[in-house]
């Protein structure tokens, strides 16, 4: 009886955008479902989502640490050099007495990206290794909520804009970390297109209901 009900529940969906109750078919990898009324994507299933995402998260973590270890950009003028990286740009804002800006930059370029990488590692490992614990759901939900506040790709654009702006003022030298930072953005973008969150949620539903 209970299994019957659960089976029905799994196929009953409410569109998150327009609140329409609908029945959805079981998805195969590579397929997606759109809402019958507002055409928003309701669910996507990707190939080997979990394994690929796990590999990409590990790569991302390594690249994130590399990006923070060495300078991203160096400016050289009259024999004096100044370099910057992610953390330095928020600390320097503190130096010129702009704590609000410093916190904003720190949260969007360090805290949220780090939390999301470690959080995803924990969630994917828990699902992959079948460690049942009550934290997977809430953590994955927080990751989804804070996603828009991770702005590493915007920062990459800012590096390029700043580099071009400074080019006629002094010599701009791209740092070693710039390459790993560039790779990190590619990895994060790929991660966004390999992860199917519903796979994690289906797993959680099976474990909890």
Partner 1 sequence: MSTLNQCARAQGIVGCQHCHTVTKLPKDIAENQCVRCPVCHAKLESRIAHSWGKTLALVLAATFMFIPANILPIMNVTYLGTGTPDTIIAGVMKLLKAEMWPLALIVFVASFVVPIMKIVVLFGLLITVKMKSQWRPVGRTRLFQITEFVGRWSMVDIFVLAILVALVQFGNLASVDAGLGALSFAAVVVLTMFAAHTFDQRLIWDAMND
Give the residues lining the site for partner 1 (CB under 8 A). 9, 12-23, 36-40, 42-43, 73, 75, 77-78, 80, 82-84, 88-93, 95-96, 98, 100-101, 104-105, 108-109, 137-138, 140-141, 144-145, 148-149, 151, 154-155, 157-159, 161-162, 164-166, 168-169, 198, 201, 204-205, 208-209
User: CB-wise, 59 or 153, nearer to partner 1?
Assistant: 153
Minimum distance, C-beta of residue 26 to partner 1, in the bound complex (Å): 15
**Residue 45 contacts residue 27 (beta carbons within 8 Å):** yes
Choose between 43 and 56: whose C-beta lies nearer to partner 1. Answer: 43
Enter the tokens of residue 141.
Answer: 């939900």
**109 closest CA partner among 95, 96, 125, 91:** 91
| Residue placing its CB nearer to partner 1 in the complex, 92 or 190 | 92
Tell me phi and psi for residue 20, to 5 degrees. Answer: -95, 130
What is the DSSP pairing of strand 41-44 with strand 32-34? antiparallel
Closer by beta carbon to partner 1, 15 or else 191: 15
Q: How far is the CB of 105 from partner 1 (least distance, A)?
A: 5
DSSP summary character for residue 149 = G
Instruction: For the CB of residue 120, give the shortest distance to partner 1 in the complex, in Å.
Output: 15
Half-sphere exposure of 79 (CA within 13 A, CB side): 0
**Shortest distance (Å) from residue 161 CB to partner 1:** 5
Helix (H), strand (E) at residue 146: helix 136-146
Nearer of residues 48 and 144 to partner 1, judged by Cβ? 144
* Tokens encoding 26: 């079981």
For 47-158, list the strands marked E by DSSP: 73-77, 80-84
Nearest-approach distance from CB 89 to partner 1, in angstroms: 4
């Amino acid at each position: 009886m209970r299994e019957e009900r659960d089976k029905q529940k799994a196929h009953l969906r409410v569109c998150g955008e327009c609140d329409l109750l609908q029945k959805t078919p079981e998805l195969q990898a590579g397929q997606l479902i759109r809402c019958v009324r507002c055409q928003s994507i309701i669910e996507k299933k990707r190939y080997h989502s979990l394994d690929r995402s796990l590999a990409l998260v590990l790569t991302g973590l390594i690249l994130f640490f590399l990006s923070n270890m060495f300078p991203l950009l160096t400016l050289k003028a009259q024999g004096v050099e100044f370099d910057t990286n992610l953390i330095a740009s928020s600390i320097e804002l503190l130096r010129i007495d702009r704590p609000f800006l410093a916190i904003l930059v720190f949260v969007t370029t360090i805290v949220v990206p780090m939390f999301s990488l470690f959080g995803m590692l924990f969630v994917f490992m828990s699902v992959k290794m079948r460690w049942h614990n009550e934290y997977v759901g809430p953590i994955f939900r927080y990751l989804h909520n804070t996603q828009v506040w991770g702005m590493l790709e915007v920062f990459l654009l800012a590096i390029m804009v700043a580099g071009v702006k400074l080019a006629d003022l002094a010599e701009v030298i791209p740092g070693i970390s710039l390459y790993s930072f560039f790779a990190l953005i590619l990895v994060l973008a790929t991660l966004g297109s390999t992860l199917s969150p519903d796979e994690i949620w289906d797993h959680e539903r099976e474990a909890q209901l």
